[in-house]
């Protein structure tokens, strides 16, 4: 057997293998970089956000006036990815708002934890400036057959029986009184129709009115002296259009009947005022949470 061709093939294979190996080594050495020392990795930056958090326990329906929030809240930084989308980021943005729920120390202030800007937490905050809430017990007749509801305006006409020889007289004594509540329910939302019960038929009910201090005295006199009085429902568009009357006696009623009745524009009943009733500011309708009037 001739071994020369086999030996020659082995020699050629070794040469080719050495050439390939040498080529790989050269390429690897060409790709090496000089030693630059240890690799330093930059720290990972976590986005942070400043939020307002409670330092103390804050009960529900607490007014966050500037003096209170100075000691009750604080600013702190938290991971931005963990912050709610409606979080408060400044203390000043909380001023004069009300809490809707109890807020515990460490809790973050969000819009859900505060009442809407047009919402007040109870009846006392719904009373217009310069007025007082006064509750009057009325029946179906005094309450305009049950049609009086929250947000209405009423006038009050009273019946006076002075000593003889003066005649008994009926007189519109108070006008433009806003109705804050009917019964013990206080639920006023300007965005929806009021579902507060009106005065039930053949039943005594409580109507709470917003009155000025002078009107408080007049209304208190009527209630505590037992003078008969009745509420008169008024068109809200007529607010501020007070009329001044001289009152009406039995003789005036009979004379008017004989002459064909009172004129439609009430001119026959107009005259100089015996009592000057100061004008009152119109009530501002607000949104109110469910509240029980005591």
Q: Answer with the residue of higher pLDDT: 278 or 250.
A: 250
223-274, pLDDT tens digit by residue? 888 888 888 888 888 787 877 877 888 888 787 777 776 665 554 444 333 3
pLDDT of residue 54: 93
Higher-confidence position of 11 and 89: 89
Convert the pLDDT of each residue in 116-171 to its tens digit.
766 666 777 778 888 999 988 877 666 665 678 888 889 999 998 888 778 888 88
Claim to verify: residue 68 and residue 159 sit in the same structural domain: no
With respect to residue 256, please indicate whether it lies within any of the assigned structural domains: no
| 107 and 128 assigned to the same domain | no
The tally of domains found in the chain comes to 2
Question: Which residue shows structure tokens 């005094």?
Answer: 142
pLDDT, one tens digit per residue, over 49-67 is 999 999 999 988 888 888 8
Give the Cα separation of 183 and 216 in Å (integer). 19
Examine the domain organization and report whether 157 and 106 are in the same domain: no
Question: What pLDDT does residue 194 have?
Answer: 40
Question: Do 110 and 127 fall within a single domain?
Answer: no
Helix (H) or strand (E) holding 165: none
Q: Are residues 166 and 221 in the same domain?
A: yes
Q: Which helix (H) or strand (E) holds 144?
A: none
Pairing of strands 97-98, 229-234: unpaired
**Whether 97 and 141 share a structural domain:** no
Are residues 195 and 224 located together in one domain of the fold? yes
Whether residue 143 is found in the same domain as residue 237: yes
In this structure, is residue 173 part of a structural domain? yes
Question: 175 with 154, same domain?
Answer: yes
Query: For residue 258, is it within any domain?
Result: no
Report the predicted TM-score, pTM, of the whole model to 2 decimal places: 0.52
The whole-number pLDDT of residue 281 equals 44
Measured distance CA(281)–CA(294) in Å, rounded: 26
Supply the pLDDT for residue 191. Answer: 40
| pLDDT value of position 270 | 40
Asked which of 115, 132, 149 is the last residue of a domain, the reply is 115
Same domain, 171 and 199: yes
Characterise 219 by phi-psi region: left (phi > 0), alpha (psi -120 to 50), beta (else). alpha
Which pLDDT does position 215 carry in this prediction?
Answer: 92
Q: Within a domain: residue 111?
A: yes
**Domain span including residue 226:** 123-242+277-292
Q: 176-226, pLDDT tens digit by residue?
A: 899 888 877 665 444 433 444 444 444 557 888 999 999 999 999 988 888
Q: How confident is the model at residue 35 (pLDDT cuts 50, 70, 90)?
A: low
Locate tokens 């209405």: which residue?
Answer: 152
């Amino acid at each position: 057997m001739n071994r020369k061709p086999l030996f020659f093939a082995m020699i050629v294979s070794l040469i080719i293998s050495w050439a390939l190996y040498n080529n790989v080594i050269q390429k690897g050495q060409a790709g090496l970089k000089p030693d630059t020392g240890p690799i330093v990795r930059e720290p990972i930056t976590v986005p942070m956000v400043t939020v307002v958090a409670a330092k103390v326990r804050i009960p529900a329906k607490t007014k966050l006036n500037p003096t209170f929030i100075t000691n009750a809240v604080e600013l702190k930084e938290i991971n931005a990815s963990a912050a709610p989308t409606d979080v408060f980021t400044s203390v000043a943005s909380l001023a004069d708002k009300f809490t809707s729920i109890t807020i515990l120390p460490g809790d973050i202030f969000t819009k859900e934890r505060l009442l809407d800007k047009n919402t007040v937490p109870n009846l006392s905050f719904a009373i217009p400036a310069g007025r007082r809430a006064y509750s009057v017990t009325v029946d179906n007749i005094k309450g305009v057959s049950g049609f009086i509801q929250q947000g209405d305006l009423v006038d009050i006409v009273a019946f006076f029986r002075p000593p003889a020889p003066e005649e008994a007289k009926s007189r519109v004594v108070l006008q433009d009184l806003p109705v804050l509540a009917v019964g013990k329910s206080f639920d006023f939302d300007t965005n929806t129709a009021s579902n507060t019960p009106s005065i039930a038929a053949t039943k005594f009910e409580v109507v709470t009115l917003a009155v000025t201090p002078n009107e408080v005295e007049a209304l208190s006199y009527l209630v505590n002296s037992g003078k008969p009085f009745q509420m008169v429902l008024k068109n809200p568009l007529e607010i501020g259009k007070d009329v001044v009357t001289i009152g009406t006696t039995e003789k005036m009623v009979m004379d008017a009947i004989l002459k064909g009745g009172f004129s439609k524009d009430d001119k026959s009943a107009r005259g100089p005022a015996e009592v000057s009733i100061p004008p009152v500011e119109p009530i501002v309708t607000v949104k109110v949470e469910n509240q029980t009037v005591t």
